[in-house]
Amino acid sequence: MRFIIGGAFEGKELFCQEKYGVLPEEIIDCAELKPDGFRQLKCVRNFHLFIKNQCKTIHDLEVILSTIIAENPGIIIIMDEVGCGIVPVERSEREWRELVGRAGCFLASRAESVDRVICGCGVKLK
């Protein structure tokens, strides 16, 4: 599994295409996917929105993430960093940001490589 992170609109998808040879049509928006929808996918984007849409039903984030990785070890996961900036007033938004941060830590610790993209430039973190 490979993990690409960065701010919104920073060029993560183009970086993924150039560095890993992924075609645009192979990058699937996973925001609306269910946890069992990741099989056979080469690359997913908007993983932070997948977490947001699953927040109410996520009881064990690590189990869901482990299952996604186990069922598709070659997947490339693209996720926005959402933990910077002003802390949201709404509790649900804070909880979501925390889940995204925990997911990022979990994915990064298990990824073959981790790249952070800023202004279209990828920086290898791992």
Does the pLDDT at position 29 exceed 90? yes
What range defines the domain where residue 30 resides? 2-124
Q: Where does the pLDDT of residue 92 fall: very low under 50, low under 70, confident under 90, or very high at 90 and above?
A: confident
CATH number of the domain encompassing residue 94 = 3.40.50.300
User: What is the pLDDT, as a whole number, of residue 2?
Assistant: 98
- Residue 20: Cβ-neighbour burial (10 angstroms; 0-12, 13-18, 19+): middle
Domain count, the chain: 1
Does the pLDDT at position 43 exceed 80? yes
Does the pLDDT at position 4 exceed 90? yes
pTM summary value: 0.94
11: left (phi over 0), alpha (psi -120 to 50) or beta: left
Query: Which pair of structure tokens corresponds to residue 14?
Result: 């183009």
Please give the average per-residue pLDDT across 40-69, as a whole number: 91
Report the C-alpha gap between 22 and 103 in whole angstroms: 23
